[in-house]
Amino acid sequence: MSDDAVLPLDSWHRARDARMASFAGYAMPIQYEGIIAEHLWTRENAGLFDVSHMGQLFFSGDGVEAAIEALTPADVEGLALGRQRYSLLLTGDGGIIDDLMIARWRQGIYMVVNAATKGADIAHIEPHLPDNVSMKVLTDRALIALQGPKAAEALGRHVSGEYGLDALIFMAGGQYRLAGEDVWISRSGYTGEDGFEISLPATIVEEVAEALCGEPEVKPIGLGARDSLRLEAGLPLYGHDIDEHTSPIEAGLGFALSKRRREAGDFPGAAQIIRQREEGPSKKRVGLIVEGRQPVREGALVVDAEGQEIGKVTSGGFSPSLEKPIAMAYVPAALAEPGTEIALQQRGKPFAGTVTALPFVPHTYHRQPKP
């Protein structure tokens, strides 16, 4: 038997005939009825994802903002109550240790980090914290996401709060009541769709999953479709599209560098990152639509006319929504304009791709109407 850690919804997934597989040390549902069906269901209705393997951290104490700012390019001081931001843990020379979400709760700062990296993240963060700032790993909480155009409607029947879910715009969150407990709900996700992420006590997650999947709009969705959805949405996957050897500028994540911190130049790797932002990076993460039907996968090469390696595919697969193969790759900056034809090679076989603006499938986030 495997040594995989078991998450609170394990038996619930198995009762729904999920195919379970090891992912980042956890037994996780890869698929239920099939990746394509689950993917399309999420784009048209609403899908429930178990992401309890991710790390949920909570920071509190005097100086918590400065402590997190010392590790990330986020403007934590300026982060209002109930707002969430995408940010990065950076190395001293500007490489990406992890990508993450931070949000301001009433008593402190809540952070969600990737499952595969959470141990290393904690080891990196802990020694940097001043004595009066504490970090708690919220191991007693589960994390689920409800994603898709009908997510708000379905979730709305189960939650109550000071404000309705309508009050939440993209990247905002708040305290709500769900199954008799206090939960944190943010309007965010990893599919490109409108939707929510819900941090809740592990003791009620099965009841909540059951109730949500009892709604006609909702089906459980596995990690397989989570990956194809995020790829279509152009969202990078840590350890694949970004890592310690890619910079936020190369990765197209410049938006994660808050204006205040950029101007102050006081985050890890700021000198390198700001210089690269001004001078332009030598390589860039781009989207590719691949000719034909055969997908190119992570590790396929971007080549020049002589067949020499000039870049690499970091994620690739078949897009259920576009019904064609798509990929993300790092290419030389001169080849990063949409429309540029890119030569690829996988297992000795040539492929052709065209640079395409990300996302491949438009985001449908619930944003504040423009005045």
Partner 1 sequence: MARYFTEEHEWIDVDGDSATIGITDYAQEQLGDIVFVEVPDAGAMLEKGDDAAVVESVKAASDVYAPVSGEVMEGNDLLAEEPGLVNSAPEEEGWFFRMTLSDKDELNGLMDAKEYKDFIASL
**Binding positions:** 197
Distances (CA, A) of 249 to 217, 239, 254, 266: 39, 16, 5, 16
Total residues interacting with partner 1, rule: CB under 8 A? 18
Alpha helix (H) ranges present in 74-180?
A: 118-125, 151-156
The bridge status of strand 301-303 relative to strand 341-346 is: antiparallel
**How open is the CA angle 148-50-248, to the nearest 5 degrees?**
75
Q: Which stretch binds partner 1 (CB under 8 A): 41-49, 165-173, 289-297, 357-365?
A: 289-297
Q: Which of 147, 228, 276, 315 is the binder for partner 1 (CB under 8 A)?
A: 228
Residues counted in the chain: 371
Least distance in angstroms from the C-beta of 289 to partner 1: 15
CA distances to 35, 58, 191, 201, 366 from 225, in Å: 5, 29, 9, 25, 21
Beta carbon nearer to partner 1, 38 or 250: 38
- The reply on whether position 36 binds partner 1 by CB under 8 A is yes
318 lines the binding site for partner 1 (CB under 8 A): yes
Residues 225 and 31 sit within 8 Å (Cβ to Cβ) = yes
Please pick, from the candidates 8, 220, 311, 317, the single residue that binds partner 1 as defined by CB under 8 A: 317
Q: Does 224 bind partner 1 (CB under 8 A)?
A: yes
- Tokens standing for residue 130: 């001043």
Distance CA 273, CA 247 (A): 7
8 makes contact with partner 1 (CB under 8 A): no
294 part of the interface to partner 1, by CB under 8 A: yes
Distances (CA, A) of 154 to 25, 141, 215, 283: 31, 22, 6, 42
**Residue 321 touches partner 1, criterion: CB under 8 A:** no
Binding residues for substrate: 197
The least CB distance from residue 319 to partner 1, in Å, is: 9
Q: Which of 7, 20, 35, 328 binds partner 1 (CB under 8 A)?
A: 35
Identify the residue among 25, 34, 63, 254 touching partner 1 (CB under 8 A). Answer: 34
User: Is residue 160 part of the contact set for partner 1 (CB under 8 A)?
Assistant: no
Residue 343, number of CB atoms within 10 A of its CB = 17
Minimum CB separation of residue 78 from partner 1 in Å reads 41
**218-220 and 46-50 as β-strands: parallel, antiparallel, unpaired?**
parallel
Closest approach of Cβ 30 to partner 1, in Å?
Answer: 8
Q: Give the binding site for partner 1 (CB under 8 A).
A: 30-31, 34-37, 39, 224, 227-228, 293-295, 297, 317-318, 320, 325
